[in-house]
Chain A
Amino acid sequence: MNLIEFQNFCFRYDHSEDFVLKDININIDSGKFILMCGITGSGKTSLVRAMNGLIPQFYHGEIKGNVLVKGKNTKNVPTSTLSRDVGLVFQNPENQLIAMNVEREIAFGPENIGVPWDEMDSRIKECIKITDIEHLRKKAPFEISGGEQQRVAIASILALQPEIIIFDEPTSLLDPKSAIQILNLLKKILLEKKVSTIIVIEHRLDIVLPLADEIILVDKGRILEQGEAHNVINGEKFLNSGVNIPKCVSVFQQLMNQNIFSGKLPISIEETKNLINSIK
């Protein structure tokens, strides 16, 4: 079943002249780790805002077509209700953490939807365990590091138990080590079936590509390509899209251009290693 379905969706913000999203027709299925990439200003953030109803409920403008989240039209259902199905983790955790300690922060979502105390307590414990933040439980959000803040933000969305979680550049403010830890945490959340689908907007393709099942490539407000990760990577559109192509892909692509190599481009260090061994 399609969790999210875009039907000829177009959107123009009130304050802008051009449409930022044009003829979007994509389906998001369950059980996938989806990477959304594209250059800055391509419309990725607007696209995810349309997935949880922030467009058109919070950001007003001209709309054509529909977005259905588990069959519910985002035009008619408020974002606060849709948040039970679609969780959204933003770029800057500092703006998402609104309580004075981590435990209260995680409780905020379940409190809002009226979860009874016992269930709320077990959800909090579970979210703290999976995001590994037991030591931060009583700390204030401004006392902890950026990576820790992002973990808290993730735990606070997990506590709502949505089927889909969307991450809008979750590692952009983090150092490479914390970024890898956060992205691995996302994969773990998916593997442990805490959510059905994860959508990540990310520029550091070298660390996120190995985790991705599917890629959505966005350019100038349109979907340039959607499909299985290997298929998209091997397509012309991806290589010419201007995104930050990982070293392992670009090296083999150059070898391909010089007719030294033919075959599927590798998307991870592991695949690159296997490919080199097979060439030897």
Chain B
Amino acid sequence: MEAFKFIQKKTIIHILDPRTKLLLAIIYSILAIIFEEIFILFFVFLSLFPFILAGQLFKKWIKSIRGMTFLFLLLIIFNTLFSTFSRSISMIIRIMIMVSSFSLFFLTVHPDDLMLSLLSLKVPYNIAFSFSLSFRFVPTIAIEAQNIIDAQKSRGYEMEQGGLISQARNLIPLLIPLIVCSLKRAFHIAESLDSRAFGSTKNRTYYYSIKYAKKDWLLTIILISLFIFGVIVKIFPEFLPTWFYWKLKV
């Protein structure tokens, strides 16, 4: 979850329009999906680094990658067993590209701006608002979950005891109160929204607005060029030197 938690900073990446960063995440993910070659994926991955560094997100990014070690191990084991080791490496880089590009988006876009960018993409207000509301209540529900854990622990509850199945069963005393509390909270929130004129007029105004600036256009052009180049390379593999298509023998 840490990989997707917004932190307020004033770097060039934070200032960019959310739509540009969404485009970046989408284009990088598409590139990660269409290619399978280790070297190409590696270069795509490397090209994300300037963005991560410019956004001062290196530490957060390392944390999120480290958090996926278990997944990487699984990928290596299953791919080597059922396919090749070489494929497992490309899968790992592919996932790293997708996670990095989307965490770049979520780490640098204010949840309220996220709503504005969804609105500009013609998403209905109610849906865009629910999306930003869910971000707002992540810390609140995390605190609530911690309170429930503490309350249950103080009554002798042990979460980490037993094997995998009994640990999963141990989650029930946490999940049930958490779900009940969240439903109750949702009801209170709805009541409070109604009392603040939510949905009273179709001609809603906005205090904040997002603008596509010159730097956004510049990055958009670069991203689209990169995408076109990627598609060309995919269609005409001879476009790149042969060493780009090198594979591990196993």
Contacts and interface: CB of A to CB of B under 8 A. Distances in A.
Interface string B109-122: 01110000000000
A114 B206 CA distance: 8
Contacts of B190: 58
Nearest to B201: A114
A258 to B, nearest CB: 47
Nearest to B185: A95
Q: Which 4 A-B pairs have the closest CB atoms?
A: A107-B207, A80-B200, A112-B197, A95-B188
A115 B190 CA distance: 22
Given A90-B188, A95-B185, A95-B189, A79 B195 contact: yes
A154 B6 CA distance: 27
A111 B204 contact: yes
B178 to A, nearest CB: 16
| Interface core residue of B112, B188, B190, B196 (most chain A CB under 10 Å) | B196
Nearest to A101: B112
A113 B197 contact: yes
Interface string B7-24: 010000000000000000
Interface string B192-204: 1111111111011
A58 B193 CA distance: 11
Contact of A114 (B135, B185, B204): B204
Interface in A63-119: 78-81, 83-84, 87-88, 90, 92, 94-101, 103-104, 107-117
B67 interface: no
A115 B207 CA distance: 9
Contacts, number: 106
Interface string B99-139: 00000000000111000000000000000000011011001
B205 interface: yes
A108 B200 CA distance: 12
B207 A109 contact: no
A111 B140 contact: no
Interface string B68-89: 0000000000000000000000
A142 interface: yes
B150 interface: no
Interface string B159-196: 00000000000000000000000000100111111111
10 contacts: A58-B190, A81-B197, A83-B197, A84-B200, A96-B196, A98-B193, A109-B197, A117-B207, A142-B143, A160-B197
B239 interface: no
B236 interface: no
Contacts of B208: 104, 107
A92 B197 contact: no
A171 interface: no
B203 A99 contact: no
Contact of B198 (A103, A112, A156): A112
Given A90-B188, A100-B136, A142-B139, A115 B205 contact: yes
